[in-house]
Amino acid sequence: MRILSRQMLLSTLCITVMIGFVIHANAAVVSLFDNYTLGFQTSAGNTISGSNTGVSGLSYQEVGQIFTPSQTAKLSEIDAPFGYVQGTNSITLSLYTDNSGNPGTQLEQWSITGLQAFSTGSTTMVVTSNITPQLNAGSDYWLVAAPGASNTWAAWNLTQNSITGYEINSNPNNPNWITKSGTSSAFAVYGTPVQNQNVPEPGILSTLLGIGTAGGGMFLRKFRKA
């Protein structure tokens, strides 16, 4: 009975280690949404502006883009091109759930600085998720770019694709999102899939069980001979 218990213990250990390798192999980062990598317009973008830019006719504006993940995953990073025009070189990028067609609950937020001048082609900014919220396939989410200061004037470059539709908000204290029909801003969302990540396929599990049992038996035979 003692030998059997040791064999079962060693077999379980072997299987656990091997399953760990399988899980790690399946944890690759994948694209969840992308209207960006085929290119973006370097000379056109949606305005991001504070309430005190000093520019006539320019008032507060943040830009919201809706997207639907292609599969359920933990957020890894977001890539998006932004350009700086004048004022404080800073914007805030936020991820929200959807609330009846508008940004709802905030999931994560990033402060972005050091943008390249919009006139020189803008900068692709990469933000890495620290919270890694789960994004569910078939559910809508919002990416919102807002000015980092009251005098910030920046732009979110447009996609080269034919995707249209975005929303703007002109009141940070009482958001009133307005749908626009122009070209969408460019961005890509990446994540680590979570579906079936912790459960190997039945064939793999059977193979691991056989290897683990054989490995445990071989170890015990050597142990008894020693």
For residue 163, what is the domain's CATH number? 2.60.120
Average the pLDDT over each of 83-87, 147-151, 207-211 and give the range with the smallest value.
Answer: 207-211
Higher-pLDDT residue of 212 and 64 is 64
pLDDT higher than threshold 50 for residue 32: yes
2 in any annotated domain: no
Other CB atoms within 10 A of residue 8 CB: 13
pLDDT at 122: 82
List for the chain the helix, strand, coil content (%; round to 5).
Answer: 25, 45, 35
pLDDT at 210: 54
pLDDT at 205: 46
What total number of domains does the chain contain?
Answer: 1
pLDDT higher than threshold 50 for residue 9: no
Mind listing the pLDDT tens digit for each residue in 130-151?
A: 999 999 999 999 999 999 999 9
137 in any annotated domain: yes
pTM: 0.76
pLDDT at 27: 64
Question: What gap in Å lies between CA 166 and CA 91, rounded to an integer?
Answer: 18
Percent above pLDDT 90 for the chain = 63
Question: What gap in Å lies between CA 126 and CA 89, rounded to an integer?
Answer: 16
pLDDT higher than threshold 80 for residue 223: no
23 in the Ramachandran plot: left (φ > 0), alpha (ψ -120 to 50) or beta?
alpha
Domain region containing 105 = 30-193
pLDDT higher than threshold 50 for residue 18: no
Q: Report how far apart the first and last C-alpha atoms of the chain are (Å, whole number).
A: 20
pLDDT higher than threshold 70 for residue 183: yes
CA 163 and chain centroid, separation: 20
Mark 179-189 as b/e (b = at least 16 C-beta within 10 Å): eeeebbbbbbb
Q: In this structure, are residues 170 and 51 in contact, taking their beta carbons and an 8 Å threshold?
A: no
36 in any annotated domain: yes
